[in-house]
Amino acid sequence: MKTSRLTLTVLLISLCLAAAGVIAAPVSLLQQAFPDVPPQFLGGRGTKDFVPLAIASARTWGNPNGVEVIFTAPVAPATATNAANYTVAPGMTVTRAVLGTDAYTVKLTTTAIPGTGLHTLTVNNVQDQSVPANTIAPNSRAPILKAQGWITRKLFTGIGGNWLDSLTNNAKFPNSPDGLEFRNALEAPSNIADYYGTQMAGWVYPPMTGEYQFYIASDNEGLLYLSSNESAANKVPVASVANATSGGRQWNQFASQRSAYFYLEAGRAYYLEALQAESTGNDFLAVTWRMRGMPAPADGDAPLPGAFLSSLAPSGPITAVTSPQSLTVGERQPAAFSVVAAGTPAYAYQWRRNGFAIPGATGTNYVIAGAALADSGAQFSVVLSNSFSSVTSAVATLTVMADTNPPMLTRILGSATMQKVTVGFSEPLDPSSALNPRNYVFNSGLTTLAAKLLPDGSNVLLTTSVQVPARVYSLTVTGVTDTAAIPNPVSATTNFTAWVLCRGFLHRDLYTGIGGCTLNDLFANPKYPDAVDSTAEVSGFEVGSFADNYGQSVSGYLLPQVTGYYTFYLASDDQSALYLSPDTNAASKALIASVPSAVGSRQWYSYASQQSAPVFLLAGRSYYVEAIQKECSGNDFVQVAWQPHRWPATRPSVARSWPATRTRSALRWSSPSNRSAWW
């Protein structure tokens, strides 16, 4: 079978196009700059045009010695890699040209291009891969965009208000932020915290010469500045949000959100800065833009892309401004190394130990939680890199000194259960020795039944025989050791006083720093129930607002004054449960009421489960009672009420505290230092 020369040529061209077709054609600069604008509004400004061959874009991405050139069609390597075909003006020299990662891209190496001013790329004699080839028009020019692809975001926490004055008048602003990062669009993270301020600042590089309008959306107050050039000293306010827009990327709610039109020159840098102050509730900050003749952004349209932004960090190869420093620490003490990078963001980090990469150590800091003697002499460094350069920091040496000091007793506390004692030590303990009950000896006939090492490793919870109220006990600790390579044993004696029974109070145990809104989030946490963060006494079964992300237990003994049936009521924000024991034994407690999801304060009837079944109680007998509540964010409280059945058979008022939330029948065990008069 014969195949004509024409057919063969067609087949070869088809194969070439098929091979090249796996790589998407470049998107124009305007399409990158305005991703939500319909193509018909872009006109002929920057849309793709494959005949004749043209420059799609020229940009440095923050590399002073390199220009990335993207053409509108796959280029012929022989002409595209000839450095003589490229000129950077004014005054730069192109020393090398190589193909990029696809057939459209050429990477140029140049002498240093200044960060300020306007620079232009001129291309001649480059051809595409068509047969016959198309040659780029003589002296084809494009402005060189020097955008890094990132913008600086500074975070200032503890700002007490939703007005920008609370941010700009704060001593930390603008040079001492609590956090600093680089974002790849002019938009801050949303709903991250309360009472903080944000500054996003850097330079914007227009893709083409023309008139631009800017838009800002924020919660709470927001303000956008624009300079007439690269100098921040020339910035002026151009758009604002007086209080808050109703949502993120809500561009059209207030007239003040839109700036006037500003004439900007393609490739030139213009300083840009956005501020936001947040009090409570939702929080966000975003900025977008449009050119004259384009439709206004619809709510939800994308923010200004990072491809046209540069951060406050000066462009250049990455450097280690501050290298990790050599350290001397005690055995099992933390050893922390850090590095500060400079140059074009974003930065990547890889820490090394004795020249070998440490898996997962890819941040600005590397911390050994507890240095061992075997770590002494180890050398640490970090390899820093950005998109076009890398450098290795100076080496830091770790010296670890042996621990020869035994743990010290720091505290001893009794418990409302009258069978628990918490013993605190000055350092983490060896678990096998800490868990041996025979290492803890009390006087006065008190017996240690069990020992539990709490999650922090330096506190031990002892279970004892029943303690006599108000009795002073002596505890001798021997045989407990620390975790040093050569263990150091404890030998110490201390005293504690058992709790006493008081009327008119309840005991509160607080567990902080626990996320989630359900009781299971509390129950699953290693702190619960023994590793309490703080304790307090409350004078009624109603505990109000405290914080976010915590759990609590409010417990004591109920002493009814009248024999009969009682109904209990529970209200909380968020979830809670109420338990009652048939006697004073907490281990016998049973669930009698619950709140599955947050209700309003003293709202007793939102859920059927908030009301217990009738419970028969004897006058003068003590009953263990406990309410457990979990809070995530927003309002928080737990409230318990009761009602004897001898009262009129009417429903309690939702808005009133009746059935009473405070009762003189509430009892609790108290430490002697908190002893209160009997009622």
Query: Contact, 270 vs 236, CB < 8 A?
Result: no
Q: Of the candidates 386, 399, 336, 388, which has an alpha carbon nearest to the alpha carbon of residue 364?
A: 336
Strands 542-543 and 637-644 come out as antiparallel
Give the Cβ contact number of residue 633 at 10 Å. 13
Q: Do domains 319-401 and 409-498 have the same CATH topology?
A: yes
Nearest-5° Cα angle at 664, 661 to 665: 95
Backbone angles phi, psi at 18, to 5 degrees: -65, -40
What integer pLDDT is reported at residue 496 of this predicted model? 95
Average pLDDT, the chain: 90
Q: What is the pLDDT of residue 14?
A: 34
Q: Are 525 and 509 in contact (CB under 8 A)?
A: no
Per-residue pLDDT of 228-246, as tens digits, reads 999 999 999 999 999 999 9
Provide the whole-model pTM.
Answer: 0.73
pLDDT score of 48 more than 90:
no
Contact 592, 610 (CB under 8 A): no
Say what the pLDDT of residue 569 is: 97
Place 5 in a pLDDT band, splitting at 50, 70 and 90.
very low
Residue 55, beta-bridge partner list? 71
Burial class (CB in 10 A: 0-12, 13-18, 19+), 149: buried
Asked which of 36-45, 200-209, 513-522, 631-640 is least confident by mean pLDDT, the reply is: 36-45
The pLDDT score that the predictor gives to residue 500 is 87
Q: What is the DSSP string of 381-436?
A: EEEEE-SS-EEEPPPEEEEEEPP-PPP-EEEEE--TTSSEEEEEESS-B-HHHHT-
Flag the least confident range among 298-312, 333-347, 397-411, 528-542: 528-542
What is the pLDDT, as a whole number, of residue 26?
A: 81
Domain 25-143 has CATH 2.60.40.1220: yes
> Helix, strand or coil for residue 630?
strand
Q: What is the pLDDT of residues 61-93, one digit of tens each?
A: 999 999 999 999 999 999 999 999 999 999 999
Whether 670 has a pLDDT exceeding 80, the answer reads no
> Architecture of 151-310 per CATH?
Sandwich (2.60)
Find the mean pLDDT for residues 362-379. 96
What does the pLDDT look like over 128-152, one tens digit per residue? 999 999 999 999 999 999 999 999 9
Average pLDDT over residues 215-221: 96
Tokens of 119: 């620079």
pLDDT at 43 (0 to 100) = 61
- 494: its two tokens: 């201390």
pLDDT interval class at 24 (50, 70, 90): low
Residue 8 burial by Cβ neighbours in a 10 Å radius (0-12, 13-18, 19+): exposed
Q: Tell me, which fold does domain 409-498 have in CATH?
A: Immunoglobulin-like (2.60.40)
Mean pLDDT (whole number) for 12-41 = 67
Per-residue pLDDT at 256 exceeds 60: yes
- pLDDT above 80 for 675: no
Q: What is the DSSP string of 12-38?
A: HHHHHHHHHTTSPPPPPHHHHH-TTS-
Min mean pLDDT across 165-169, 170-174, 275-279, 652-656 is at 652-656
Q: How far apart are CA 484 and CA 374, in angstroms?
A: 12
Half-sphere exposure of 201 (CA within 13 A, CB side): 23
- 502-674: CATH topology is Jelly Rolls (2.60.120)
Side-chain half-sphere CA neighbours of 81 within 13 A? 7
Percent with pLDDT over 90 in the chain = 83
Most confident of 17-26, 342-351, 643-652: 342-351
Which pLDDT value is given to residue 598? 95
**Per-residue pLDDT at 29 exceeds 60:** yes
Q: CATH 3.30.379.10: does it fit domain 319-401?
A: no
Query: Who contacts 464 (Cβ-Cβ below 8 Å, separation ≥6)?
Result: 419, 420, 421, 442, 446, 447, 448, 449
| Amino acid at residue number 48 | K
pLDDT of 417 > 70? The answer is yes
Return the higher-pLDDT residue of 144 and 546: 144
Q: Residue 2 to residues 6, 8, 14, 135: CA-CA distances in angstroms?
A: 12, 10, 19, 34
- Cα 245 from Cα 401, distance rounded (Å): 57
pLDDT in tens, 298-356: 999 999 999 999 999 999 999 999 999 999 999 999 999 999 999 999 999 999 999 99
* Domain coordinates in residue numbering, the chain: 25-143, 151-310, 319-401, 409-498, 502-674
Q: Residue type at 666?
A: A
pLDDT at 21: 41
Please compute, for residue 444, the number of CA atoms within 13 A of its CA located in the half-sphere on the CB side.
16
How far apart are the C-alpha atoms of 261 and 267, rounded to whole Å? 18
Which tokens go with 134? 């198309």
The answer to whether the CB of 200 falls within 8 A of the CB of 273 is yes
Main-chain dihedrals φ then ψ at residue 625, nearest 5 degrees: -135, 145
